[in-house]
Amino acid sequence: MTSKDLVLVAGGTGGVGQLVVGKLLEKGFKVRILTRNAAKAEEMFNQRVEIAVGDTRQSATLSAAMPDLSHIICCTGTTAFPSARWEFDPPLNLIEWGTAFVNPKSSEAKAKNSPARVDAQGVSNLVAAAPQNLKRFVFVSSCGILRKDQLPFSILNGFGVLDAKQKGEEAIISSGLPYTIIRPGRLIDGPYTSYDLNTLLKAKTGGKYGVVVGTGDRLSGDTSRIDVANACVECIVHPSSSEKIFELVNQGSRPPVIDWETLFSQLV
């Protein structure tokens, strides 16, 4: 890292994104966040970051976020299943909400911020807008990309979230930019931004579990948002994580210090 390193966090107002921003500032990076909501970002980060207003679905809004960047960390996302975050336009009535859950194709067609728009098209747009001399593009993807025909991933992919994440991954890999792709399991610990059971129960790991990484999409389990954020930031300071795609879950007991260099180096 140099004093000139400036990291763009796309989705910096999200659960993982907020933690990424905090970790980057702690390590002395300059941070710019890409957000659709400047007021929310200003309140959240109290002038400690630069704010670029943009929407990954709209390529023309991204160029203003790109000058002088050294790295991009992309933590954008939406819900796997239809929700208000899909931004139905016009908003759905009660009957349409019912049919949205049984007919993935019709709900997708009416949604403005579905996984296909955010995780596939949005990520491709961000890749296309990225500076050619970028040091690293880090992407928060998901476990299950290569197991879409197996439970529970076949259910998770009912509305195409894993298909969309895979398209995002492919855009990054084929771009020629240096990259790291992190595939977490089901997110646990706050900030609680999902609409799932872990969020409902405010499930916590208590910081007791170790970090396990693997390749080939074979690991499953819960992953603390804190460790996803730690991995995003640690991988830009460890060259051994470049051009790596790995799952990240919490298992076993946590050592006093997580040795990220060893974790990244063991990935093949």
Ligand X SMILES: NC(=O)c1ccc[n+]([C@@H]2O[C@H](COP(=O)([O-])OP(=O)(O)OC[C@H]3O[C@@H](n4cnc5c(N)ncnc54)[C@H](OP(=O)(O)O)[C@@H]3O)[C@@H](O)[C@H]2O)c1
CB of 3 to ligand X, least distance (A): 27
How many helices (H) and strands (E) in the chain?
A: 11, 10
- What is the distance between the alpha carbons of residues 15 and 229, in angstroms, rounded to a whole number? 9
Single out the residue of 5, 7, 8, 17 in contact with ligand X (rule: CB under 6 A).
17
- 180 interacts with ligand X by CB under 6 A: no
Question: Binding ligand X by CB under 6 A: which of 27, 57, 110, 148?
Answer: 57
Comparing CB distances to ligand X, the nearer of 36 and 261 is: 36
| Sole window of 31-39, 211-219, 237-245, 246-254 interacting with ligand X (rule: CB under 6 A) | 31-39
Where does this chain touch ligand X (CB under 6 A) — which range of 42-50, 75-83, 89-97, 204-212? 75-83
Q: How far is the CB of 58 from ligand X (least distance, A)?
A: 8
Query: What residue number has its CB nearest to ligand X?
Result: 14
Phi, psi angles (nearest 5°) of residue 74: -105, 110
Counting contacts by CB under 6 A, is residue 11 touching ligand X?
A: yes
By C-beta, is 78 or 107 nearer to ligand X? 78
Buried b (16+ CB within 10 A) or exposed e, 179-216: bbbbbbbbbbbbebbbeeebbeeebebeeebebbbbee
Q: In DSSP terms, which residues pair with 140 in a beta bridge?
A: 182
Site string for ligand X, 184-203 (x = CB under 6 A): x-xx-----xx---------
- Cα separation of 130 and 61, whole Å? 12
Q: Can residue 124 be called a binding residue for ligand X (CB under 6 A)?
A: no
Q: Which is nearer to ligand X, 215 or 261 (CB)?
A: 215
Compute the distance between CA of residue 80 and CA of residue 160 in angstroms, rounded to an integer: 8
Separation CA 47–CA 34 (nearest Å):
14
Choosing from 1, 6, 30, 36, the residue that interacts with ligand X (CB under 6 A) is: 36
Exposed / middle / buried, residue 222 (Cβ in 10 Å: 0-12, 13-18, 19+): middle
Structure tokens belonging to residue 24:
């980057």
What residues make contact with ligand X under the rule CB under 6 A? Answer: 11, 13-17, 35-37, 55-57, 75-78, 113, 118, 122, 140, 142, 184, 186-187, 193-194, 225
